[in-house]
Amino acid sequence: MVGAASKAFFQAISRSAVLKRLATRYGMAGERGFARRFIAGEDVEQVITAARAVEARGLAITLDYLGESVSSIAEAERATREYLDIIDRIVRAGIERNVSLKLSQLGVDHARELGARNLRRILEASAPHQFFVRIDMESSAYTDVTLDIFEEVWRDGLRNVGVVLQSALRRSPDDLRRVNAVGARIRLVKGAYLEPREVAWQRKTDVDAAYVQLAQALLREGTYPAFATHDPDMISAVKTYAGEYGVLRDRFEFQMLHGIRRDLQTSLAAEGYRVRVYIPFGREWFPYFMRRLGERPANVGFVIRGMLRDW
C-alpha cells in the first residue's frame, strides 16, 4: 500500500498550479535543473541532442512530446501540428523514427472522433517515413477508447502503430489476447496511475505476478513485445522464460525511461538484448515528472539532492 499512497500523494500535487509554476521555473533551468534527469528538454532540438547521445551508446529510442489532457480543441489541434513538425524534424535529423503519444493530448476527451482523426493524421504523415507510433495507455478511464481507436485505425490499414498495456489493471489479460489476435505490438508496463481496487491490483506483489504472467504470454504469442521495467526481478523473469521457451533476443526488447538505471540499460545491451530508451520532452512536463516520483520514491532523494546542489 506504500506504492498506492506514494502515487496518490504525487498525483495530488501534480494538480497544483502553484507548484507547477515553481517547478516550471526551476526544474529545467540550465543544464543542472532538477528535472533534467528525467526530461530531455523543452524543445525538439534538445531532445534530438539527447536522442543522439542515447543512440551513441548503442541503444534504441522513442520520443514522447509531453502534454496530456489538453483543455480545448484548439490545444489538441496545436499538439497534433507539433507532432507533425516533430516527425519532419526527426526525419531531417536522421535519428530513429519512433514516437509515443497519448490520445488525451490529441483531444479524445473533447470528442472521440477528434482524437481518432488527429491520430490518423499523425499515422498517415509518419507511415511513408517508416515511423513506428506507440499509443501510450493512460488511466483506466481511457482503456476502452484507446483500444477501440487503435483497432479502428488498424482495420483501416494503418499498421505502423502499437499500444501499451498495464499489468496493474485486472482486465489486461483479456486486452492482451485482443491485441495479440490482430498481430500488433504491445509494450507492457506496470502502470503509474492511481486506480480503484475494483479495476486494479493494489499490492505490488499482485502487480508483479500479473506482469510476469502477461510477459510470458507475450513471449509465447506476441509480436515483437516490449517489456518496460526497471525492476531487476521482472527483467530476470523475462530473460529466464525467453531462454526456456526458445525466444531469440532479437524477437523482443526491454524499454526504460530516460535518466533511470543507465547502468542496467548498458549491461542489458552488452548481453545482446535490445534496449529502447523512452525520452520525454516538452514544456508540459510537470504531471509526467510527478508520476515518475510517485512510481519510485527513491527518485525523490535524487531530486532533493539536485535541488540543494543547484541552490
Q: What confidence tens digit (pLDDT) does each residue in 26-78 have?
A: 555 556 555 667 888 889 999 999 999 999 999 999 999 998 778 899 999 99
The catalytically annotated residue of 187, 208, 276, 292 is 187
Q: Picking from 36-40, 84-88, 152-156, 294-298, which range would have the lowest pLDDT averaged per residue?
A: 294-298
Cα angle 177, 181, 187 (rounded to 5 degrees) comes to 60
Same-domain check for residues 262 and 122: yes
The catalytically annotated residue of 36, 97, 109, 136 is 136
Mark whether 309 is an active-site residue: no
The structural domain count of the chain equals 2
Average pLDDT, integer, range 187-202: 94
Say which DSSP state 200 is in: B
Same-domain check for residues 275 and 292: no
Q: What is the pLDDT of residues 260-307, one digit of tens each?
A: 899 999 999 999 999 999 999 988 777 777 666 666 555 555 454 444
Entry pTM: 0.86
Mark whether 88 is an active-site residue: no
Cβ neighbourhood burial of 200 (10 Å; 0-12, 13-18, 19+): buried
Percent of the chain past pLDDT 90, that is, above it, reads 73
Q: What is the pLDDT of residues 133-145, one digit of tens each?
A: 999 999 999 999 9
Q: Which residue has the higher pLDDT, 1 or 118?
A: 118
> 196 CB contacts (<8 Å, ≥6 apart)?
none
Same-domain check for residues 298 and 221: no
Same-domain check for residues 55 and 127: yes
Residues present in the chain in total: 311
Query: Distance of alpha carbon 141 from its chain centroid, rounded?
Result: 17
Which CATH number characterizes residue 118's domain?
3.20.20.220
Same-domain check for residues 73 and 219: yes
H or E element at residue 70:
none
- Which domain, by its residues, includes 226? 46-283
Same-domain check for residues 208 and 78: yes
Residue 100's DSSP bridge partners are 64, 134
